[in-house]
Amino acid sequence: MFIYFRYGTHTREDCWCGTFTCPHCGEAQHFHLKRLVFRFEIFFIPLFRYTKQRMMVCDKCNAYKELTKQEYKQYQDAFESHFERQSIPDTIVLRDFSAKAVHWGWRIAALFGILLLTALVGTSLIDMLVDTYRYGYPWLGCLIIFAIIAFPAHLAIRGFLRAQKKYQYFKRRFPKENTK
């Protein structure tokens, strides 16, 4: 039997957090919130993720400042208030919120992939659920179904909805950019 798994750390960029004076280059620069995340996947299905480090990174020189979980949350809340008031700078909106930046192709492919996985694996999962119930382990079948379908689907749909929200914001701010 062949099992494909992968693990490791990757950097995940969350959102713009403001314009500050960079301690390294000494200029007023845009900063973004980033997380260093450890992940473990089997067959490209994320089983768990763990955030190892939270940081605020300069866009120009990539110098960073480590943040606590509370500071990180405060910057995220500040971004949400900027988002609601539509006071995010145009350069950030053009860079981070365009159709290319939100990776529409990958997000749509992930949703269709999860639907295909559900269709292909659904019947065997139902059979397995019936067998585990017959032998006295009904929770095991439910856990396997959750791990294989529900959790990755939740992650894909949540990412898709966030990307859609960002792209709608982009379309409101730059209606002429949408016609290209």
CA distance 163 to 101: 9
Q: What percent of the chain is modeled with pLDDT above 70?
A: 64
Question: What pLDDT does 122 receive?
Answer: 62
* C-alpha–C-alpha distance, residues 46 and 105, integer Å: 19
**Tokens standing for 159?**
């990412």
What does the alpha-carbon distance between residue 142 and residue 158 come to, in Å, rounded to a whole number?
22
Predicted TM-score of the model (pTM): 0.61
Which of 28, 11, 31 lies closest to 75, judged by CA? 31
Interstrand relation of 45-58 and 64-67 (parallel, antiparallel or unpaired): antiparallel
The angle at the Cα of 17, spanning 174 to 97, to the nearest 5 degrees, equals: 25
Instruction: Summarize pLDDT for 124-179 with one digit per residue, the tens.
Output: 666 666 666 666 666 666 666 666 666 667 777 777 777 777 777 777 777 765 54
**Three-state DSSP class for residue 129:** helix
Q: Encode pLDDT of 32-51 as tens digits.
A: 888 888 888 776 667 777 88
Question: DSSP string of 31-84?
Answer: EEEEEEEEEEEETTEEEEEEEEEEEEEETTT--EEEE-HHHHHHHHHHHHHHHH
- Residue 70's pLDDT is 92
pLDDT of residue 30: 87
Percent of the chain with pLDDT over 90: 2
